[in-house]
Amino acid sequence: MQVTAERIAQHFNGEIIGDPYVKISSVSKIENGKPGNICFLANPKYEHYIYTSKASAIIINKTFVPKEKIAPTLIVVDNAYSAVASLLDLLNSLKKEKRSGRSWRAHVSWSSKIGKGAYIGAFAYVGKKSIIGKGSQIYPQVYIGNNVTVGENVILYQGVKIYDGCKVGDNCILHANCVIGADGFGFAPQPDGTYKKIPQTGIVVLDDNVEVGANTTIDRATMGQTHIGKGTKIDNLVQVAHNVEIGHDNVFAAMTGIAGSTKIGNNCQFGGQSGTVGHIEVGDRVRVGAQTGIIGNTKADSLLMGTPAINYKNYLKSYAHFVHLKEYKEKIDELEAFIKKEESEEK
């Protein structure tokens, strides 16, 4: 895949200084730039690289004033740093060829409906009365159960499993081997010490623009639905339990665990290996540090760290003392020995 500097500049409404027809095939750090690469300069401490770079093009800020001659073509934008994400999105969209049609090795039930321009790869399985929206990409070895709804322009990568009745909104991306709609972990203790399985009769609903990472599992509800709000992004190896309700535009880093019936607001951020107990409510815009464990209801705009979770600043103050506990213990032992000695001498 190659694209001209002119095409990239048009994408940003940027100005070109140099050859507008130079071909770009990949993105690189400015210190590693080679012919065919496009780089960006946002941090002044990397400025010296721009004068020796062999890259084909470099994105710069409008405020940048060069001190020497620059060989690569320049694309001048308002904010070079923020332009990078948009650039990667552009190049990725140009690189990915959208497929359509159905492999003869796929199984699609006659009662299911496949939208115009959708793609069904080899060994994919689509069950009875399911719906696949227009332009969706169902990669090989995907399993879609009965009565499943998949929206438009959805990407289901290899090995995705969607159980019966679940719903996936438009423009969602589900990465390899994630599981949507497995049974929630529900077992009732019996008098004889055994556990009786509680039927999980609900579904999972993913709203539009949700992304789910590889090997992540989202369990179906016992009754009703496990719900993931629009725009939420879930990393790899995350567990979302039954009856969880997650609002819009949240992010969950790898190995986060959300226990059953937890309600999470909007615009929250969960660090890696963090988690919650069940049946609690987490407010809007809560930020949760890595390995934090939330054991109770949490107010909006909280910044949490530690297990049990406490205010981030309080955690740092507490940790400053925690790392010195051994020294504190030794001092306490010395004081106790001194007090005992004084008491014995008084007697």
Helix (H) or strand (E) holding 95: helix 80-95
The number of beta carbons lying within 10 Å of the beta carbon of residue 224 is: 14
Q: CB-side exposure of 332: number of CA atoms within 13 Å?
A: 6
**Position 1 confidence tier, pLDDT thresholds 50, 70, 90:** low
Residue 193 and residue 230 in contact, taking contact as beta carbons nearer than 8 Å: no
Q: What is the pLDDT of residues 9-55, one digit of tens each?
A: 888 888 999 999 999 988 899 999 999 999 999 888 999 999 999 99
- Residue positions annotated with a catalytic role: 242
Q: Is it the case that residue 302 has pLDDT exceeding 80?
A: yes
Residue 241 and residue 185 in contact, taking contact as beta carbons nearer than 8 Å: yes
> Which pLDDT score, from 0 to 100, does residue 102 have?
95
Rounded CA separation 231/130 (Å): 24
Nearby residues of 345 by Cβ (< 8 Å), 6 or more positions away: none
Tell me, rounded to whole angstroms, the distance of Cα 106 from its chain centroid: 30
Helix (H) or strand (E) holding 180: strand 179-182
Q: pTM (2 decimals)?
A: 0.79
> Which pLDDT score, from 0 to 100, does residue 96 have?
65
207, with CB counted inside 10 A (0-12, 13-18, 19+), is buried
Q: Is it the case that residue 240 has pLDDT exceeding 90?
A: yes
Q: What is the pLDDT of residues 73-130, one digit of tens each?
A: 999 999 988 888 788 877 777 666 678 999 999 999 999 999 999 999 999 999 999 9
Residue 142 and residue 156 in contact, taking contact as beta carbons nearer than 8 Å: yes
* Backbone torsions φ then ψ of 161, nearest 5 degrees: -125, 125
Q: What is the mean pLDDT of the chain?
A: 94
Query: Which residue type, as a one-letter code, is found at position 9?
Result: A
Residue 13 and residue 106 in contact, taking contact as beta carbons nearer than 8 Å: no
Query: Which residue type, as a one-letter code, is found at position 249?
Result: D
> Which pLDDT score, from 0 to 100, does residue 259 have?
98
